[in-house]
Structure 1
Amino acid sequence: MTVSLSEPTHKLVEHYRDDPLLRAELNALTRQTYGFDFEAWYQAGFWQADNQPCSLVRDGKMLANASANLLDFTLGGQHLHCVQIGTVITAPEARGRGYSRYLMEVLVERWAGQCDLLYLFANSTVLDLYPRFGFRRVVEHEYYQPWSAQPRATTFHPVNLDDGEQRQRFIDALEKSCPQARLSLVPNVPLTMFYCDGPYREAVFHSAEHEAYVVIEHDGERMVLVDVFCERELVLADVLAELVTATTREVVLGFAPLHGDGFATRVVDSDDALFVWGATSTSVDGQTLMFPLLSHT
């Protein structure tokens, strides 16, 4: 694969986490595209070396970005060193010039064959793009169950992440949590806090009785148990009735549980399709599982 940059005014920049000007450019581009940025996450000390933006700039202005995120997972006792490509974006005024293609070629050339799994998630507008770089679609499955039982008195209470003590206890729990999923992200405080200190800030709950934290989302009659953090394996049947509401009619998991008893499975139907690099079958091929929602980058 040949990678070249024909325009001399363009510059490939990396390892700029602590450069306020380039970081501001990335933040502006992600804000414009996705409605969020990384500044609060950076200021909280969560942006670590395993989050590696690869960006194209011209005269200090960011034109495009694609990031490599180094993540470790466990699957059936096997440790997987993975690289997820994410935050693939191009400034509106720079689209159609091959900038994202160039950055993808850089990252694929760098990481293909250098990790156990190179993968990404793509929305429906770009499903035809990634096969050009050697990626292929892999179907994910989610676990769910219809719900008709009444809620049980809950021992779970909201976590106030603005409270220093509650925040630190939550971070400590993330570090000590054991796998709750078949495909489990090895404890990764920075990535988990990107979500839990961001879009899921009001969705984190703790139970002293169960010695567990959960992230839950209610959407009408649907409850999503996004993730679970506990030092021991948490029996989901023991806690679901404490998390649902009187109107819940379906419970969906944001991960593939260690034990699927009581759950049905179905193909994930979302605007976030999994693509894996390489023609050779990998450890996630043909399995009834999904990457945990909080592991997406």
Structure 2
Amino acid sequence: MSHNYQYDFEWNYNADEPKRERLFPLFKAVFNMKESDLKALYASGFANPTYTPFTYFHDGIAVANVSMFELPMRIGGRRVNAAGIQSVMTDPGHRGRGLFRQLFETMLTELDRRHEAGFLFTDSPRLYEGFGFREVEETFFVSPYRYRPGGPSTRSIRSIPSLRKLSLTNAEDVQVIQEQFRQHAPVSSVFAPMSHGASFYLNMLDPQLQSNLYYSEQLKALIVCKFEGETLKLYDIVGRRIPKLDEAAAAIGEPVSKVECYFHPDLLHPGPWTPIPSPGHLMVRGAIELPKQIHFPITAAF
């Protein structure tokens, strides 16, 4: 049975709380995101004020959406005025009507007017190639690195006094995270987001990732990391300055024989680093030249 639906288009209404919350059921239907988590994002102060939805409504209910937000990047040593694209979603009952294409083209007109480049993550790269996006390979970085604490250590990283484990359910911990993001330095000068607090918060809703979130009083920085044997996996560092690897290892205080870095390590350590292809599909639009080897911190993914 065919239906002649009437759709109402609205955009750039995110500052209006009642209108904004009309999107939440669509997040639940498409991504199974809890409305309570979305409300908590705005209550926490981490929400990106530049988040701009482009939405079709049917009878007041959101049925299709594409959103963009300002994503200033440090790329090749300079600031790039980029945008991120996310919240691409269509209610299953309204698919096949061209809503996604209409919204996406409208959004791209605004993006191209205001930004040098647009980035998105997707499991369907071919879907976006027709809109001028190209896929970019990400690599993480591996290096042999030896660190031994002052004496024998059998402690788990979870019990290290110098690192404080953080939780989003603890108001004091949330305040610590907010403080680090107020004036934090990009984790790399080669390729890194300059502000990713909203993405960081949403990614930390994953209990597995949140279990790797620590604060170092010694470094005055958040460290997202874990150990596999003596392999230190570094996912992000958020602070006013990026410490050298020697400082980070000393602050963590556990034996290290190898480091895997999931962001470009130019500020961390001279290496040598071996790039390893990373799974996932990062896409970019715009006449911007990217470094040969890059990696978005997983805490900044959207």
In structure 1, give the amino acid aligned to 2:114: Q
- 1:190 deviates by 3.5
Is 1:257 the counterpart of 2:254? The answer is no
| Equivalent residues of 2:65, 2:90 under 8 A apart | yes
- Distance (whole Å) between structure 2 residues aligned to residue 269 and residue 146 of structure 1: 22
Which residue of the partner structure matches residue 296 of structure 2?
Answer: 291
Which residue of the partner structure matches residue 64 of structure 1?
Answer: 64
Change (3 A) 1:225 1:34: farther
| Equivalent residues of 1:223, 1:250 under 8 A apart | yes
Q: Deviations over 1:203-253 (max 9, x none)?
A: 32112223322112568997642210232331124434775989x997432
- Distance (whole Å) between structure 2 residues aligned to residue 219 and residue 65 of structure 1: 40
- Distance (whole Å) between structure 1 residues aligned to residue 67 and residue 32 of structure 2: 17
Q: How does 1:109-258 map to 2 (within 5 A)?
A: 109-112=109-112, 114-123=114-123, 126-145=124-143, 154=160, 155-181=162-188, 182-196=190-204, 200-217=209-226, 224-240=233-249, 251-258=259-266
Change (3 A) 1:30 1:243: farther
Change (3 A) 1:18 1:260: same
| Equivalent residues of 2:140, 2:263 under 8 A apart | yes
- Distance (whole Å) between structure 2 residues aligned to residue 220 and residue 127 of structure 1: 35
Report SS of the residue matched to 1:228. strand
- 1:20 deviates by 4.9
- Distance (whole Å) between structure 2 residues aligned to residue 93 and residue 250 of structure 1: 50
Change (3 A) 1:29 1:266: same
| Equivalent residues of 1:57, 1:63 under 8 A apart | yes
- 1:49 deviates by 2.7
Change (3 A) 1:98 1:203: same
Report SS of the residue matched to 2:137. coil
Report SS of the residue matched to 2:81. strand
Report SS of the residue matched to 1:69. strand
In structure 1, give the amino acid aligned to 2:180: A
| Equivalent residues of 1:143, 1:260 under 8 A apart | no
- 1:263 deviates by 2.6
- 1:150 deviates by 7.6
- Distance (whole Å) between structure 1 residues aligned to residue 107 and residue 216 of structure 2: 42
Change (3 A) 1:242 1:114: same
| Equivalent residues of 1:183, 1:292 under 8 A apart | no
Which residue of the partner structure matches residue 7 of structure 2?
Answer: 10
In structure 1, give the amino acid aligned to 2:194: V
Q: Deviations over 1:122-164 (max 9, x none)?
A: 11xx221111111112222221346897885642220244444
Is 1:84 the counterpart of 2:92? The answer is no
In structure 1, give the amino acid aligned to 2:301: H
- Distance (whole Å) between structure 2 residues aligned to residue 215 and residue 18 of structure 1: 31
Q: How many residues align?
A: 283
- Distance (whole Å) between structure 2 residues aligned to residue 92 and residue 201 of structure 1: 31
Which is worse superposed, 133-142 or 173-182?
173-182
In structure 2, give the amino acid aligned to 1:60: G
Runs of 5+ consecutive residues of structure 2 not aligned to the other structure = none
Question: TM-score scaled to structure 1, two decimals?
Answer: 0.81
Which is worse superposed, 64-73 or 233-242?
233-242
Report SS of the residue matched to 1:239. helix
Q: How does 1:260-275 map to 2 (within 5 A)?
A: 260-270=270-280, 273-275=281-283
- 1:116 deviates by 1.8
In structure 2, give the amino acid aligned to 1:209: Q
- Distance (whole Å) between structure 1 residues aligned to residue 92 and residue 257 of structure 2: 42
- 1:197 deviates by 5.8
CA RMSD of aligned residues (A): 3.1
Identical pairs, percent: 23
